[in-house]
Structure 1
Amino acid sequence: MSITIKDAAGIAAMRTACRLASEVLDFLTPHIQPGITTLEIDRLAAAHMAAQGTRSATIGYQPPGYPPYPAHLCTSVNHVVCHGIPADKPLKKGDIVNVDVTVITPEGWFGDNSRMYEIGECSIAARRLCQLTYQSMWLGIEQVRPGARLGDVGHAIQKFAEGHGLSVVREFCGHGIGQRFHEDPQVLHYGRPGTGEELVPGMTFTIEPMVNIGRRDIKEMNDGWTIVTKDRSLSAQWEHTVLVTPTGYEVLTLSAGSPAVPDFVQGMARAAA
């Protein structure tokens, strides 16, 4: 597989797909409260995707060696790092949960994003983890410009997270995206500056760091999908899909309900209305 460079029509299609993916999370946000089950979050998301004319990229998704994924989104609670399968256990005060949504438009374009949600009053440590993971994602995004390299993105995330005593999961990474769910390049959330693929305008990929309070070691559960921290420490993840522009970057997965962009962000180009 090689990196696909999107032309003007492809970029416009990606803007639409990614905005719609973000709007699923906008719709879900007021519902994600103590007492809701992640299965109910999944049901609400499926109904909203149908209403907007998209479909889930995850349900039935089956990479080689995996069972078919059984849900319309991923819900990763507390020590679940990623790929948590929705279940009938209610969320309770103090939980943190990542909700990861990928939609496919009728034209076949994919939009992918995730957000963290704090359920009721959370511990200081949990809130700090969610906040610092969000900032680390944006610090990675801020490295995106033509001529930069993917190692610059990974290094910025790793340096910030580890500088705050957190650890970065290395087994999972961001990825190119377009008319396929997962394309080249792989976007590592650690690395050395000046290494890796050179960024050029028209590339679209996700940046989605998974950051743990404890050690970075992980393990896979028996369902073949759910990834947890080995030491059962809390884990957080945020995800945006970005476009490399001629002058920097554009975050494609922004919508009216997206969380506020950190004050330190300078390089963002917003999509035209």
Structure 2
Amino acid sequence: MTIIKTDEQIELMRKSALLVSSTLSEVAKILKPGMTTLFLDEFIGNYIKDNNGIPSFLNYHGYPFNSCISVNDVVVHGFPNNNELKSGDIISIDVGVILNKWHGDHAYTFVLGEAEDDVQQLVRITKQSLYKGIEKAVTGNRIGDIAFAIQEHTEIKNGYGVVRELVGHGLGQSLHEDPQVPNYGKRGSGPKLKERIVIAIEPMINMGSKNVFTEKDGWTVRTKDGKPSVHFEHDVCVRKDKADILSDYTPIEEAEKNNANLFVCE
């Protein structure tokens, strides 16, 4: 059942989403080759707690970390570990928080060091597709309008693989609510979007085929062909004329530009 939020609840959710944004911006300030994803995960957990939040991924259905950090061919749900990051790595960091009982949940993909042209293009197109989907998150449209906008920009126009097994979702006092928000679909199909529902829109796009598999840990999702995958995610409130993005990439992008270790795909 889709839960419509009050304006007061939406503002509480904005605070939760912005705590995720500031967490990711702090990561963007320090990210560099030689760092481990386990160190980053501990940094993320401490930052959230220092700002009166609770890491919402930790112990969620048994997930053992504060964040999901997915490198190169890992699509999502990557386990932080002690492997050192290196120049050329593509790193998707997905963070969730609970603040004042409300969830924030979004993700950003970083590129360490120099990036090949095809990687730059994948990052650029995936990020663009997120905003293409958000444009359709207005009252009276349908889930399929968001889904098709993302699929059209990534798969139909650019030949990338849109992951089918993993989708965006509603968000509120639960980390995952109705409706599901796929990144592929047919215009005009699916549930109608109602004003003041909050959804996490999150394209997960592969450089190669759409096919993925889950490792034996039950969480880590990788591309079957071993090619890179990119993930971006915003928390969005459906409104009548224009979607209201509750999360904010601005501080993340500023930190990214000021970190010489990161490649900015503009």
- TM-score class, shorter-chain normalisation, is over 0.9
Structure 2: unaligned runs, 5 residues or longer: 255-266
User: What is the CA-CA distance between 1:165 and the residue it aligns to?
Assistant: 1.5
Find the counterpart in structure 1 of residue 199 from structure 2.
205
Q: Shift of the alpha carbon at 1:9?
A: 1.5
The correspondence of residues 91-102 of structure 1 with structure 2, limited to 5 A, is 91-102=85-96
The reply on whether 1:222 has 2:216 as its aligned counterpart is yes
Q: Indicate if the aligned counterparts of 1:55 and 1:103 stay in contact, CA closer than 8 A.
A: yes
Tell whether the 8 Å contact from 1:113 to 1:240 is kept in structure 2 after alignment. Answer: yes
* Aligned residues of 1:209 and 1:237 also touching (Cα < 8 A): yes
SS of aligned partner of 2:253 = coil
TM-score (norm 1): 0.91
- Residue matched to 1:7: 6
Aligned length: 253
Q: CA RMSD in A?
A: 1.0
Pair 1:39 & 2:38 matched: yes
Cα shift at 1:259: 3.1
Residue of structure 1 equivalent to 2:70:
76
Deviation by residue 1:60-110 (Cα, 9 ceiling, x = unmatched) = 110xxxxx11100000000001000100001100000100000001x2100
Contact persistence 1:169–1:217 (CA under 8 A): yes
| RCO comparison, higher one (Cα < 8 Å, 6+) | 2
2:28–2:252 contact (8 Å) kept in structure 1: no
1:263 aligned residue:
none
Q: How far apart are the structure 1 equivalents of 2:32 and 2:121? A: 19
In the alignment, what sits opposite 2:138?
145
Distance 1:131 1:150, change over 3 A: same
Distance of 1:74 and 1:112 partners within structure 2: 11
Query: Using the alignment, how far apart are the partners of 1:60 and 1:220 within structure 2?
Result: 19
Task: Compute the displacement of 1:255 (Å).
Answer: 5.6
- Give the letter for the 2:114 counterpart: E
Deviation (angstroms), 1:256: 4.6
More helix by share: 2
Does residue 130 of the first structure (1) align with residue 123 of the second (2)? yes
Identity over the aligned pairs, expressed in percent?
A: 38
List structure 1 runs of 4+ shifted beyond 4 angstroms. Answer: none
**Matched letter for residue 81 of structure 1:** V
Cα 1:14/1:149, change in 2 over 3 Å: same
Q: Is the 8 A contact 1:111 1:241 kept in 2?
A: yes
| Structure 1: gaps (5+ residues) | 63-67, 261-273
Structure-2 separation of matches of 1:53 and 1:194: 41
| Number of the residue aligned with 2:264 | none
- Which residue of structure 1 lines up, in the alignment, with residue 54 of structure 2? 55
Q: Report matched runs for 1:100-111 at 5 Å.
A: 100-105=94-99, 107-111=100-104
Q: 1:255 to 1:77 in 2, by over 3 A?
A: closer
TM-score (norm 2): 0.93
**What residue in structure 1 maps to residue 235 of structure 2?**
241
Q: What code does the residue aligned with 1:121 have?
A: E
| 3-state SS in 2 of match to 1:257 | helix
